[in-house]
Amino acid sequence: MARNKHPEETVEKILDVASRLFLEKGYEHTSIQDIINNLGGLSKGAIYHHFKSKEDILIAVTDRMTMESNQGLAKIRDASAMNGKEKLQEIFKASINRPVQKDIFTVAPDFQNNPRLLDSLLRETVEVVAPYYILPIIKEGIEDGSIQTEFPEQLAELIILAANIWMNPMVFDSSPEESYAKFMVFRQMMQGFGLDIVDEEMVQRLQELAVIYNKKK
């Protein structure tokens, strides 16, 4: 059948349409039928051939965003012109300033009501981002003297869990004021490790993202 001739193209088309609709209407207000109506002739069967539910589509959309994000992390991790501490600073700046970040906060549902999505975020954070992107940078920082810690693995997990989970208003429902307090605690905690990786400009940007998410609810 035609829909099976180029399955990768079909999947990408579904994800492109779903991403746009999630951004325009929000995940909670987008139905499977909305996606079908914007697929230019693809049937409901074509969607359900690849995805069992709207939640499956959302996870695939976020996986695609995550893959793009990880490519950026790898570029910073492998850069030769920065020391370890500078790479951590650059990762935080790049993460909060990337254009797609605003889209993520606009599109994303409440993670507390989407356990599969939360599980996916936790696994990605602990099993991929911490060991493959943050830990190598910390080890490099230990070697070049810009980072001091006897526990690099635990510090890598602490940094990324705080950033991706604890400070994330999509996971823990927080007002902009509560989000600001968390950002400041994280900043002070990192300074205790000698890591001035969060400056005032970044705190303000994080607040802006928190406001975007709270307005969307």
> What domains are defined for the chain?
1-51 (1.10.10.60), 61-216 (1.10.357.10)
Mean of per-residue pLDDT scores for the chain = 87
Which residues, at least 6 apart from 137, have a Cβ–Cβ distance to it below 8 Å? 76, 77, 84, 87, 88, 91
CB within 8 Å of 108: residues ≥ 6 apart: 27, 62, 170, 213
pLDDT of residue 7: 84
pLDDT digits (tens, 9 = 90+) for 52-79: 999 999 899 888 888 888 999 999 999 9
Does residue 139 surpass a pLDDT of 90?
yes
Whether residue 48 has pLDDT greater than 60: yes
pLDDT given at position 31: 93
Residue 110 pLDDT exceeds 60: yes
* Percent of the chain scoring above 90 in pLDDT: 47
Does the pLDDT at position 157 exceed 90?
A: yes
pLDDT of residue 109: 64
pLDDT over 90 at 169, yes or no: no
